[in-house]
Chain A
Amino acid sequence: MRNLSSLKKEFLRKWIKGLRKYNSQKKNMNLLERKKAIKLSADLAMASTKDKTTLWRKALFANTSTKIDDEQDMSTTSSTPQKKVIRKNSTNSYPLRKRITGRRKILRRNHTKERVEASFIAMRLVKKRTRKLKSLLPGGKFMDDSCLVDETLDYIESLKAQVEVMRCLVTSSELFINQP
């Protein structure tokens, strides 16, 4: 198990660096933009901590880089279409996936026989859940079962660290604002 505190330190430093860069590029961002900026830089920082090159980190890099590129392209235009584009980027993949899984389910019912034995039910449950876990992890569609478990381990650790650091920052900034 890695040293959590060192992970957090690293994450925080990188995150703040990223945020500063982001801040220098654009001024007067609204709430959503800021949130997006925070999240992006946090993701990047999380993905770049430690030397391990796991699948989800690479996928996270790819995702965030595309998002940043899209935002930079849209920076020249006015703010409202920018917001729409950003929202589209962040949410467009989700409904597609939902539709696809729905179709898959329907197809399955038509073509395959239902087996009522306990072992088959258990197998189906496990398969359902691994599919869901794959959808949760960044870059999860490309992993096989054993790889998946490793990646989730890593991802959970970094998510934990990220959440704790963010929470610390939130409370501190809150407290700071309460007493200017």
Chain B
Amino acid sequence: MLHCLNTSSNLVGGGNISDMTVLERQRARIKFQNEPQQFSGNGFSSSHQQQFMMLGCDSALGEIVTNSMKPDPDYENGFDEETVKKRKTDNKVDLNSKDKRIKVCVEEGESKIIEQRKGQKNTKFNNGNKNKRENCEDSNSKENSKGSEIQNQKPDYIHVRARRGQATDSHSLAERVRREKISERMKYLQDLVPGCNKIAGKAGMLDEIINYVQSLQRQVEFLSMKLAAVNPRLDFNIDELFAKEVFTQNFPTTGIPSEMTNPAYLQFNSAQQLVSCCGGLINNMGIIPPEIGLCRNINAPTSASLPEIFLDSSVFTHILPSSTWEGNFQNLHNVDFDQARSISFPSQPFTGMVEASNMKMEM
């Protein structure tokens, strides 16, 4: 008992309790804890204090003793009001991240105290510790606490793991997720838009995409104008008949050359198309010559030139138009072009043509 008093008197040697610095108080506490093993660190009940009071010490000394002997949380009540306020404003969730702060801190003695005090779950004490250890705190621990806080409070959100060396802020995480989504979809677009494989970077790819969409829209405009010009009455009956047949067959997917916007080119190519159609027909579809002969008979009065070309070049139309088409396309567009497809593509409407004309003949 006297031993205790002695220690307390040492403490007081500096003057009033309020004048003691924080560190001195800590050290006092540490000494206090270490020396008396009889007193269990936690179980410092008020009964002990009362006993000391009853010893008949001087009232002032008694106060000092009781103050020093009280368990630390109460001990800290003697702190300045400023520190108390600071503690109160601190985040109480620090309880969760207590362990992290313990690891961060330098002084081992304090960690011992904290571990002893774990059971008590005294928020004031913990906040006070945080106050003292503000120098030691890393930004990481703060962010970790925030992260854990967020995950605890919002379990229905998407859980993202931050990679090594990256910020763990919730905002940056969400941004990263968004950015990854967008880049993933840009990759799909790269496959769709021709000529986008070499370009890396959002701006360039967006540029290509814009050009492509614009060209497609212009093509639609032009083609609709052309259709309107070609059909004086907007009737597609016969076309529909053959169209059904056309599309039930294998419809190839061709690259879209932008030179189709040039009407002159189309008209120039119509004869070539016919030729290639027929060539394609013979080679791919295997239409019997008698049918072709019938066609020829029908077409004789109107366009005699057509069947001649038709028959003469039947063997090598497959080769001829391919070269011309390829040359034209390479001049005007960078798209990779599949020759076989381009040839079979116009051939299919021609099959319908042949059949339609056959029907005409039958009627």
Seen from chain A, the residues whose Cβ lies within 8 Å of a Cβ on chain B are 4-5, 8-9, 12, 16, 19-20, 22-23, 29, 31-32, 34-35, 37-39, 42, 122, 125-126, 129-130, 132-133, 136-137, 145-146, 149-150, 152-153, 155-157, 159-160, 162-164, 166-180
* A167 to B, closest residue via Cβ: B223
**A residues less than 8 Å from B1 (CB atoms):** none
Q: List 27 A-B contacts (CB under 8 A).
A: A4-B253, A5-B251, A12-B243, A19-B236, A34-B234, A129-B206, A136-B210, A136-B213, A136-B217, A145-B178, A145-B182, A146-B182, A149-B182, A149-B189, A153-B192, A156-B189, A156-B213, A159-B216, A167-B260, A169-B227, A169-B243, A172-B349, A172-B353, A174-B266, A175-B350, A176-B238, A179-B353
Summarize A's interface: helix, strand, loop or mixed. helix
**A residues less than 8 Å from B213 (CB atoms):** 133, 136-137, 152, 155-156, 159
Known: A31-B228, A179-B299. A153 touches B214 (CB 8 A): no
Q: Which of A129, A160, A167, A168 contacts B210 (CB 8 A)?
A: A129
**A residues less than 8 Å from B188 (CB atoms):** 153
Within 8 A of A (CB), among B294-316: 298-299, 302-303, 306
Q: A20, A29, A32, A34 — which one has the most chain B CB atoms within 10 A of its CB?
A: A34
Q: Is the CB of A4 within 8 A of B251?
A: yes
Q: How far is the CA of A122 from the CA of B201 in the complex (A)?
A: 10
* A157 to B, closest residue via Cβ: B192
Q: Is the CB of B220 within 8 A of A132?
A: no
Q: How far is the CA of A63 from the CA of B236 in the complex (A)?
A: 25
* B279, CB-defined interface residue at 8 Å: no
Q: Is the CB of A179 within 8 A of B247?
A: no
Q: B225, B266, B356 — which one has the most chain A CB atoms within 10 A of its CB?
A: B225
Q: How far is the CA of A167 from the CA of B207 in the complex (A)?
A: 26
Q: Is the CB of B227 within 8 A of A180?
A: no
Q: Which of A9, A126, A133 contacts B247 (CB 8 A)?
A: A9
